[in-house]
Amino acid sequence: MNGASNEVKYRIQDLAENERPRERLEQLGAQALTTSELIAILLRVGVPGENAVQMGQRLLQDLGGLRGIQQATFTEVCNQHGLGPAKAAQLKAAIELGRRLQIDDPEQRPRISRPQDIADLVQYEMAGLVQEQLWVLVLDTRNRVLSTERLYKGSLNSSTVRVGELFKPAIQKNGAAIVLVHNHPSGDPTPSPEDIQLTRSAIQAGKLMDIEVLDHLVIGQNRFVSLKERNLGFSG
């Protein structure tokens, strides 16, 4: 018969005190903890057969690391075994606080150098939207993100979107450039003729105001299309 020392430890309380995440944070600082230990502190408790640290390890593996948790929709995180709405909200809130902290420091603001950089900032949130939305990213002279503005909701086309409105946030924040981003709730990011026309109109207006339209992304389900990369609306 095996002794208690050979039992698998499923609860944080069953771990030695110097192995418990919260106690380790108090003694060594947050930087000393693994990512799964930090997640365990947010989760607080695990599920039968799996303590909170093991649960954190599984989430990182199943969702593709912290970036995967960030990009997953709320529903996708919520549906992970043992989570539910409360724990999913805690995880999403913590990741968003980290993102906002980064943006608060001008030197740490995300810098846009390729379409993937834009997608990384917006895809996890936009992919879960059930309505079409148009967002504008305002950039400084070094293509660092100053702000993200949500301007339109509902069916979008060049007749419903007032092009001048797209540049208001950049004017207010002394931005040098903007990026247009909108989603296709169908999941298919293929640009429509209206998307291309809106891009052309925005570029023309931007030239008059000396504010560059750096790109226009269409976000789908786990996919995106850069109109600039495909030279749609950016030619001539």
Q: Tell me, yes or no, whether 184 and 198 share the same domain.
A: yes
Is-contact 182 176, C-beta < 8 A?
no
% of the chain surpassing 90 pLDDT: 46
* Residue from 76, 77, 69, 84 nearest 35 by CA: 69
Backbone angles phi and psi of 79, in degrees to 5:
-80, -5
Q: Tell me, yes or no, whether 100 and 127 share the same domain.
A: no
On whether residue 236 sits in a domain, the answer given is no
Q: Tell me, yes or no, whether 16 and 70 share the same domain.
A: yes
On whether residue 235 sits in a domain, the answer given is no
Q: Which whole number is the average pLDDT over 39-45?
A: 89
Which of 104, 129, 144 terminates a domain? The answer is 104
* CA 161 – CA 144 distance, rounded (Å): 25
Q: Tell me, yes or no, whether 222 and 116 share the same domain.
A: yes
pLDDT of residue 96: 84
On whether residue 80 sits in a domain, the answer given is yes
Residue 6 scores a pLDDT above 80: no
Q: Tell me, yes or no, whether 81 and 129 share the same domain.
A: no
On whether residue 3 sits in a domain, the answer given is no
What is the per-residue pLDDT across 154-206, written as a single tens digit (0 to 9) for each?
776 655 788 999 999 999 999 999 999 999 988 899 999 999 999 999 999 99
Q: Tell me, yes or no, whether 42 and 90 share the same domain.
A: yes
Residue with tokens 């504010």: 211
Q: Tell me, yes or no, whether 82 and 114 share the same domain.
A: no
What is the per-residue pLDDT across 56-114, written as a single tens digit (0 to 9) for each?
999 999 988 887 888 788 899 999 998 989 999 999 999 888 877 766 665 567 789 99
The count of structural domains within the chain is 2
On whether residue 234 sits in a domain, the answer given is no
pTM of the prediction?
0.60
On whether residue 1 sits in a domain, the answer given is no
Which of 74, 104, 134 terminates a domain? The answer is 104
Q: Which domain holds residue 79?
A: 9-104
Q: Tell me, yes or no, whether 189 and 205 share the same domain.
A: yes
On whether residue 219 sits in a domain, the answer given is yes
What is the per-residue pLDDT across 128-163, written as a single tens digit (0 to 9) for each?
778 899 999 999 999 999 888 988 887 766 557 889
Q: Tell me, yes or no, whether 164 and 217 share the same domain.
A: yes
Q: Tell me, yes or no, whether 67 and 171 share the same domain.
A: no
Helices 21-28 and 35-43, packing angle to 10 deg: 120
Measured CA angle at 130 (ends 124, 134), to 5 deg: 70
* CA 8 – CA 30 distance, rounded (Å): 26
pLDDT of residue 160: 74
For 110-135, b/e burial (b = at least 16 CB within 10 A) is bebeebeebbbbbbbbbbbeeebbbb
Which of 56, 74, 104 terminates a domain? The answer is 104
Write the CATH number for 215. 3.40.140.10
Q: Tell me, yes or no, whether 74 and 134 share the same domain.
A: no
Write the CATH number for 13. 1.10.150
* Residue from 173, 157, 158 nearest 205 by CA: 158
On whether residue 232 sits in a domain, the answer given is no
Measured CA angle at 30 (ends 25, 31), to 5 deg: 130
Q: Tell me, yes or no, whether 140 and 219 share the same domain.
A: yes
